[in-house]
Amino acid sequence: MMRFLIKWVAMCCGLAVCSSWALAATLPVLAEDNLPFSYRQDGAIRGYCTDIVRATLASAGLPYQVDIQPWARIYTTTLARPGTLMYPVARTPERENKFKWIGPLVTNRIALFRKKGRGDVVVHSLDDARRYRIGVVNMDFREEYLRRKGFAEGGDKTLMVVSSSDLLLPMLQAGRIDLVPLGLAKCAPHGLDCSQIEPVYVLSELESGLYMVFNRDTSEVLVQQVRAGFEHVRRSGRLARIMQPLQRIYGSSP
């Protein structure tokens, strides 16, 4: 009986510690520079998804600190550190069991873009794209998808892998690459100036939701607290209001 009581007290203390940590600790939140979802402007971190994450964590009553870093860094950090929140993340089969998912925040639709005026770059199918140099970000879901479809890098291969999405459009404009897979929302309000690029082929297989994710070993107490905050934001209609400028591209909000 005494042994059972000791175990029960230890378990309760463990839950209390988890709950106390979730309420008191500053939650590390990581994002990449990803217009118009998350980006740094005038010293502040902004974006459609940033606004949803902030509203969610305010509703959950959690102190937090948002930081923007290169994609590969935030991805590997989140995989390694319990209690780390990352956004926005495309939900793919390869990632399903690597994280705990909260969302979706919005639907993401991807197309291959070319430099406007490049009439020599013609894509009517994914096989057509194999003739061209395609710029992708290391460890991004678009790189994963194209590799799964048999695209590769090196020599005369088609993939050119970079560390940051900021590098892709200058490379496209300079003619170092021929195509870039971008979300159609890049051309939405507060997004990129798309006057010099145009979509040529929609990658319909890549349509997916964008989510907040936790490291898979994060305390379930913390995950449920954030999930409840997100559900409050969604049910209140605030999610739809934040995403309203994207509706012409994405349709109705989640």
Across the range 173-184, mean pLDDT stands at 94
Q: What is the DSSP string of 108-173?
A: E-EEEEEETT-TT---SSHHHHTTS-EEEETT-HHHHHHHHTT--BSTT-SEEEES-GGGHHHHHH
Band (pLDDT 50/70/90 cuts) for residue 246 is confident
Nearest to 236 by CA among 57, 47, 101, 59: 59
Mean pLDDT of 49-71: 97
pLDDT above 70 (res 124): yes
Residue 137 has pLDDT above 90, yes or no: yes
Q: Is the pLDDT of residue 24 over 60?
A: no
Mean residue pLDDT across the chain: 87
Mean pLDDT for the stretch of residues 165-178: 93
pLDDT over 60 (residue 47): yes
Mean pLDDT of 223-251: 89
Task: Place 245 in a pLDDT band, splitting at 50, 70 and 90.
Answer: confident
pTM of the predicted structure, to 2 decimals: 0.76
Task: Strands of the chain (E only): list them.
Answer: 27-31, 39-41, 44-46, 64-68, 85-90, 99-108, 110-115, 134-137, 159-162, 180-183, 197-202, 208-215
20: pLDDT strictly greater than 90: no
121, pLDDT greater than 50:
yes
What pLDDT is stored for residue 193 in this prediction?
A: 86
| Confidence at residue 191, expressed as pLDDT on a 0 to 100 scale | 82
* Domains of the chain as residue ranges with CATH: 28-108+208-248 (3.40.190.10), 109-207 (3.40.190.10)
